[in-house]
Amino acid sequence: MTLTRTSFALLLGTAPLIIMTTPLFAAGGGGGGGSSPSASAAQYDPAVEYQKGIAALKVKDFKGAKTAFDHVIAVAPRDANSHYLAGFSRTGLKDWKGAKRYLEKAVKLDANLIGAHRELGVTYAMLGDKAKATATKSALETKSSSCAGTCPETADLKAAIDAIAAALAAPAKVSDRGTESLLFASTAKGDSLYLGAVAEINEGRYEAAIATLKSSQSSFGPHPDILTYLGFANRKLGRFDEAERYYRDALAVAPNHRGATEYFGELMVERGDMAGAKMMLARLDTQCQFGCAEAEELRRWIAEGRSPHSS
């Protein structure tokens, strides 16, 4: 399926991804009547807060970065990059116990985040847990050996191993948690990666697209467009549970995101959940009072009772 129609809806032409406007969302839940916690909670746009955090880290404003990434996590609790950077911010404040919690969550959410493993190993060393620091270092060494110098992350793996080794050897010298070891991708680079991922999806290269989208996330964090395409690519690979998680994450960040709503409805059709698909269509019809392509596409899927593009 070529995504020209939906790509336009998500990309707004070729405008930079980060400047797209999204609603502000409440941090917190609440489901009862009356005055719920979510009704009075601060409102955060996770894409904006993520950029605030990156900007703060670049000038070593660790307190400001911590606040910004905590805001992101309040809305998007499954974003691995935000947990990683929330943990890194705390290492800058010498809050090693606080850092440990966020960094452990980051590597649990994404085992391939080399920077998060690096910071976690250093944090273990600073907390005096040499066994866990050594285990983290050994796991990175194993990964580095399997790469044999050919993996794109070879340099990052070496830097991570060296950082943990230094912290184990002389923790007292780990004083300035500067940001020179972080790779800050520019928003222009993030846009380029995102557009590359869309091209890979159009070519049916879904595994490659997933890797590229995750790289783009380092620039933008839990952006709903990226989450939506991560859901789409996983769905095309038959990973329906993972696709659903990404669609739900996208809609948690942007409840009125038409692309995520349409694709989630299509996933429901593929699973035989016609009632759920019709609920998604009703949401689109409410948003698109004068009609929209997303609603019409999902309506067609429902009418046919299967993917219109399947054989």
Q: Helix/strand/coil (H, E, C) string of the chain?
A: CCCHHHHHHHHCCCCCHHHCCCCCEECCCCCCCCCCHHHHCCEECHHHHHHHHHHHHHCCCHHHHHHHHHHHHHHCCCCHHHHHHHHHHHHHCCCHHHHHHHHHHHHHHCCCCHHHHHHHHHHHHHCCCHHHHHHHHHHHHHHHHHHCCCCCCHHHHHHHHHHHHHHHHCHHHCCCCCCCCCCCCCHHHHHHHHHHHHHHHHCCCHHHHHHHHHHHHHHHCCCHHHHHHHHHHHHHCCCHHHHHHHHHHHHHHCCCCHHHHHHHHHHHHHHCCHHHHHHHHHHHHHHCCCCCHHHHHHHHHHHHCCCCCCC
pTM of the model: 0.78
pLDDT in tens, 171-230: 877 766 555 555 555 677 888 889 999 999 999 999 999 999 998 888 888 999 999 999
Is the pLDDT at 155 greater than 90, yes or no? no
Is the pLDDT at 90 greater than 80, yes or no? yes
Q: Which residue has the higher pLDDT, 172 or 112?
A: 112
Percent of the chain with pLDDT over 70: 80
